[in-house]
Amino acid sequence: MRGPLVIAIDGPAASGKGTLARKLAEYYGLKHLDTGLTYRAVAALLMAEGGLEPNGERAVAAAGRLDLSAMDRDLLSAHDIGEAASKIAVIPELRQALVERQRAFASQPPGAVLDGRDIGTVVCPRALTKLYVTASPEVRARRRTDELLGRGKPTDFAAVLADLKRRDARDMERDDSPLRPADDAHLIDTSAMTIEAAFRAAVAIVDAAISAKDRASPS
Ligand code: C5P
């Protein structure tokens, strides 16, 4: 019998990986987990409980209490929560605790699309397909600025760009599970692509992987 179908998507902030992950999950009838939300939810819990300054123990306890099905994307998308999330994401014990939750999610039939920073490298190294979605910092900052302006929030492009670059550096340079493409990841650069074009490119890659797997072990 076939195991759950897992699609791993990694990439930096505002690369388009979240939108792509949601669309792929809908298209293939899979569940979806935005693993960034798990780090954000822990950060929000710690902040609500009297400040970040987390030690591993408090963070691990918060990770154990998380209800993955009740993470409020709107609430957790706040800028200060994203900053706090990337600061606590360097704690190895916290990463270990969240990775266990994320793996348990991925192992449920029929499978799942997970997006984050270390899905193809650490969380689901045996995923059927791994995508690394990226775009230039300027394009990502423009998208993020337009999105915030669209929500009526006064936003400065230069500040958003500086912020994204700082976050990229923190995520790529940490010792534990840094952001990087898995050796067998397919790269999708969305700098000059619509989300529809990125989606079609991703479907072609996933379909090819499904066909190759079916040929290798016909049911
Ligand atoms: O993707 P998002 O911006 O919501 O993630 C917030 C932060 O959580 C990231 O900047 C990163 O530091 C951390 N993160 C991580 N590993 C993941 C997902 C997110 O370290 N798989």
3-state secondary structure of 130: strand
- Kindly report the average pLDDT of the chain as a whole number: 93
173-178: which pairs have CB atoms within 8 A and are 24 or more residues apart?
174/89, 174/90, 175/90, 176/90, 176/92, 176/95, 177/95, 177/117, 177/118, 177/121, 177/122, 178/117, 178/118
Residue with CA closest to ligand 1 atom 19: 36
Q: Is the CB of 171 under 6 A from ligand 1?
A: yes
Tell me: the pLDDT tens digits for 163-195?
Answer: 999 999 999 999 999 999 999 999 999 999 999
Q: Is the CB of 40 under 6 A from ligand 1?
A: yes
| Mean pLDDT, range 23-38, rounded to an integer | 98
Distance in Å, CA 35 to ligand 1 centroid: 7
Tell me: the pLDDT tens digits for 98-114?
Answer: 999 999 999 999 999 99
Joined tokens for residue 109: 């039939």
Provide the residue type at 122 as one letter: V
Residue 147 vs residues 69, 77, 101, 185: alpha-carbon distances, Å: 25, 12, 30, 28
Q: Is the CB of 12 under 6 A from ligand 1?
A: no
| Mean pLDDT, range 105-127, rounded to an integer | 97
Tell me: the pLDDT tens digits for 130-170?
Answer: 999 999 999 999 999 998 899 898 889 999 999 999 999 99
Q: Is the CB of 82 under 6 A from ligand 1?
A: yes
Global pTM reads 0.95
pLDDT band at 53, cuts 50/70/90?
A: low
Complete domains list, the chain, with CATH:
1-30+111-210 (3.40.50.300), 35-109 (no CATH)
